[in-house]
Amino acid sequence: MKKSLTRWLNFFSRRSIAQAGAVILNRHQIFILPTRVGFLFALMLLVMLVGSMNYNNNMGYMLTFLLGSMAMVSMLHTQRNLLGLCITAGKVKPLFAGETAQFELWLDNRELGARYSLIWQAHFSQRMGLNCQTERELIIDVPANQKINLIYPVLSTQRGRLFLGPVTVYSCFPVGLFYAWASIHLDISAIVYPKSLGQQQLPGNKTPSNRESGYLCEGRGEDFIGYRDYQLGDSPRHIDWKAVARGQDWLIKQFGGISTTILWLLWDEVSPLNDVEASLSQLCLWILIADSQNVQYGLKMPHCTIEPNSGQQHREYCLQTLALYALS
């Protein structure tokens, strides 16, 4: 029965839209049905009622109606165990393929009573040209007037986006006669970078900045040369903040006059591997090596070019470009 309810729940969950921000469970989101034990209990009450009517047994009537009233009260407690619970999606750090993503959900119980035996079932799907889904269950209690976090560890198998699909929370508390559940669809996903693997050495296409053709080194020299348009991944200290304050477009200051090196990481250098994933893994390894050596590097892909820069923001932007390459 539980599997049948889950299949129906998944059907309606796929028709819902992912929600951003906090979700507070209300009466319209919570469904409730008797469990298998609940159906047997109802059948037992029916037999007791028929027997009491047949023998005109007042004690039988009293016991039947007493147990029936207790069952109805337990149904209300089962619903209230979910009613008013606030669920908020936390942040998910990017990771490399093969590592474990940590999906974080914050559960805020704003009621005076604790919530017991909440069973959480999350559906995960990773998209990289194909879809695959897995399920994980966790059982937790949420104390009264407290906010706790729920961590779903999920092993990533490939680059791309790892999505947190519909999350189902259900409970049979307090006596297991009724099964109450709610489904929410939170807008949360993790960026999965390619694996950093490869046999090729870091390419030697470095360009000296003091050559006669006039190499532009952003924010490193003493002589101001000019501006260029802002690109995602540029260092904030190179932005002309005065121009931004005047309402102008975001511009990047360019300087020259200092000897440094720049490294271009080219798709053409790894394309002979004849395997997209192997090529992306090689570029990923080069980015990590260049970043560890504090070298300014740029990335040229078939669909975009990322200008040379350095720093954590630039590294993450380059890795994200590799992670989402050729994905719809």
pLDDT for residue 238: 76
Instruction: Work out the average pLDDT over 139-147.
Output: 93
Question: What distance in Å separates the CA atoms of residue 196 and residue 221, rounded to the nearest whole number?
Answer: 32
Domain boundaries, the chain: 1-193, 195-219+259-327, 221-258
pTM comes to 0.72
Reported confidence tier of residue 233, pLDDT bands at 50, 70, 90: low
Please name which of 270, 133, 253 lies closest in space to residue 200, comparing C-alpha atoms. 270
295 Cβ contact list (under 8 Å, min separation 6): 261, 262, 263, 310
Pairing mode, if any, of strands 296-300 and 261-266?
A: parallel
Name the burial class of residue 127, with classes exposed (0-12), middle (13-18) and buried (19+) by CB atoms within 10 angstroms of its CB. Answer: middle
Reported confidence tier of residue 19, pLDDT bands at 50, 70, 90: low
Mean of pLDDT over the chain: 83
pLDDT of 137 > 90? The answer is no
Instruction: Report pLDDT digits (tens) over 184-204.
Output: 988 889 999 999 998 888 886
pLDDT for residue 225: 67
pLDDT for residue 18: 57
CB atoms near residue 120 (< 10 Å): 18
Peptide bond into 166 cis (omega under 30): no
CB atoms near residue 163 (< 10 Å): 19
pLDDT of 317 > 70? The answer is yes
The two three-digit tokens of residue 242, written as one number: 């005065």
pLDDT of 132 > 90? The answer is no
Please name which of 173, 181, 167, 14 lies closest in space to residue 88, comparing C-alpha atoms. 167
CATH assignment of 1-193, given 2.20.25.90, 2.40.100.10, 2.60.40.10, 3.40.50.620? 2.60.40.10
Instruction: Report pLDDT digits (tens) over 255-296.
Output: 665 446 789 999 999 988 889 999 999 999 999 999 998 889
* Structure-model confidence comparison of residues 320 and 326, the more confident one: 320
Pairing mode, if any, of strands 22-24 and 86-89?
A: antiparallel
Instruction: Report pLDDT digits (tens) over 46-56.
Output: 999 999 999 98
Percentage, residues of the chain above pLDDT 90: 55
Kind plus residue range of the DSSP H or E element containing 133: strand 131-142
* Structure-model confidence comparison of residues 126 and 249, the more confident one: 249
